[in-house]
Structure formats: structure tokens, C-alpha cells
Amino acid sequence: MSSSKQHRWVVGVLEDDPDQAGLVQIWLEKAGYEALLYANPAEFRRSLGHEAIDLLLLDWMLPNASGLEVLEWIRSAANPNLPVVFLTARASESDIVRGLEAGADDYVVKPPKQAELLARVAAVLRRRGAGEGDANGLLEVPPYVIDFTKRRVRLGGDDFDLTQREFDLASYLFRRHGRIVSREALLEQVWNLSPGLTTRTVDTHISRLRKKLALSGENGWKLTAVYQHGYRLEQA
């Protein structure tokens, strides 16, 4: 993905340490990405009107606003579907959970290892830009159609308004319809979280997705909880 000739991914790096930013820029550009550096949140905000980025690497400790505040602004107003990966020295489990529950797609602890950072960037971009389905990037689970290219779920002629995380969760469940999917698998595969963490984020997202996609049986499918096992998307 990172060396694709059809599309050169643009990665923004919001990092106030110039040495760290410069090192990450070198790694990204050697891997085939275009890297855009931002020294502070204000500079990043100004750039969004005229620079299109495919993913943001975001430091937590920044001047004038924290990375968490930047992420919350992105998700609530600026670009709710922009993939964001924290790159930060904050390494406690509670911080990682806070970042991911706030909407980050992944979390890399400083000092980063080159191979790991590039692998995580590639994985997030792969989920964003390419999914499973037919040659046109479509998976049909009638009456639903999952469009991996446009990252949309359609019912009839209507598209559902889903966040990036909700789309990732929906596509994971539709690809495995009829099977029980454990909360641990969802934490690991959709959130990149350790399956042993205690968090209600899966349950909250499942409930929200059930309502948004009308998966209570009215359209032939229902998303149900399986006691002590997880969830199953099954025909009503």
C-alpha cells in the first residue's frame, strides 16, 4: 500500500519536536509516502482547508492544545473520518484506552521503531482504502451493500452516515455474518486494543450501530448479543 503507484498516501505529522518530526518524515518518505509536518495545532487547523491528508500521526503533548483535544475537534467537526494514529510518550494503559475511545485508530508509544510505525500506518490506510468484496470493492448482504472503496453502507438508495470506526465495525460484522464474534476479537481487530482490557466501548458502538443500520430485524437482519460469548449478525 505504501508504495502504490496509483495513489501516494499523504501522512500528516503533528509533532512539536523538530528532531522527532524530521526522523518520522524520513521514514515515511523512504516508504513511499508524502509527509506533511505541523509544529502546533493551530498550524494543523489552518492547513485543513487547503491540504488533503490521508492519515494523521498525532503527538499527545503539544503547545496550546493537547493531542486529545485535537482528536476530539477532528472527530466532532473537522474531518470525522480522518484516520488518526497517536505517536506519543504517554504509555500508560489508561492513556491508551482514552486515546482509542476518543476515536484514534491506533496508538504507538515513543520512541517509535521504524518497522512497527510503518506497519501500523500501512494497516490503518489499508482498512481505509481497501476492503474485501468483489472486483468493485462491494460486499452484498441483501438488502445491505458494503462499499469498501467509498467506505459506506447502503440500504436501497440511501447511504448511512457512519464514522470511520462504525464503518470498520459494520464491515467486520457483515463479513462474518452468521458467526459469533467475541468482544475480544472486536477489540483486537477493530480497535487494535489488547483483548484483555476492560472497556465498554464495544458495547456502546454495537448499540449505536444496531440503531443506525436498523439491525433489529426490520430489514431481515438482527445484531444480537450472545451471553458470555460476544455478538452475532444473523438473519431475522
Using CA atoms, how far apart are residues 85 and 58, in angstroms rounded to an integer? 6
Task: Tell me the pairing of strands 152-155 and 10-14.
Answer: unpaired
C-alpha cell, 75: 472527530
188-199: per-residue pLDDT in tens? 888 878 777 878
Using CA atoms, how far apart are residues 141 and 188, in angstroms rounded to an integer? 24
- What's the whole-model pTM score? 0.60
Task: Tell me the pairing of strands 144-147 and 10-14.
Answer: unpaired
Write down the CATH number for the domain with range 10-129: 3.40.50.2300
CA–CA distances in Å: residue 113 to residues 44, 119, 193, 199: 25, 10, 19, 28
132 pLDDT exceeds 60? Answer: no
Q: Is 192 left (phi over 0), alpha (psi -120 to 50) or beta?
A: left
Cβ neighbours of residue 183 closer than 8 Å, sequence gap 6 or more: 195, 202, 203, 230, 231
Report which of residues 6 and 206 the model is more confident about. 206
37 pLDDT exceeds 50? Answer: yes
96 pLDDT exceeds 50? Answer: yes
C-alpha cell, 157: 438508495
pLDDT of 130: 43
Using CA atoms, how far apart are residues 176 and 95, in angstroms rounded to an integer? 31
Q: Which residues of the chain does CATH 3.40.50.2300 include?
A: 10-129
29 pLDDT exceeds 90? Answer: yes
Give me the amino acid identity at 220: G
Average pLDDT over residues 6-12: 73
Q: Which residues of the chain does CATH 1.10.10.10 include?
A: 138-235
Average pLDDT over residues 129-137: 53
5 pLDDT exceeds 50? Answer: no
Cβ neighbours of residue 92 closer than 8 Å, sequence gap 6 or more: none
Mean per-residue pLDDT of the chain: 86
99-125: per-residue pLDDT in tens? 988 889 899 999 999 999 999 998 888
Q: Is 217 left (phi over 0), alpha (psi -120 to 50) or beta?
A: left
Q: DSSP assignment of the chain, as one string?
A: -TT-SS---EEEEE-S-HHHHHHHHHHHHHTT-EEEEESSHHHHHHHTTT---SEEEE-SS-SSS-HHHHHHHIIIII-TT--EEEEES---HHHHHHHHHTT-SEEEESSPPHHHHHHHHHHHHHHHH--SSSTTSEEEETTEEEETTTTEEEETTEE----HHHHHHHHHHHHTTTSEE-HHHHHHHTS---TT---SHHHHHHHHHHHHTTTBTTTSEEEEEETTTEEEEEE-
Topology adopted by domain 138-235: Arc Repressor Mutant, subunit A (1.10.10)
pLDDT of 50: 60
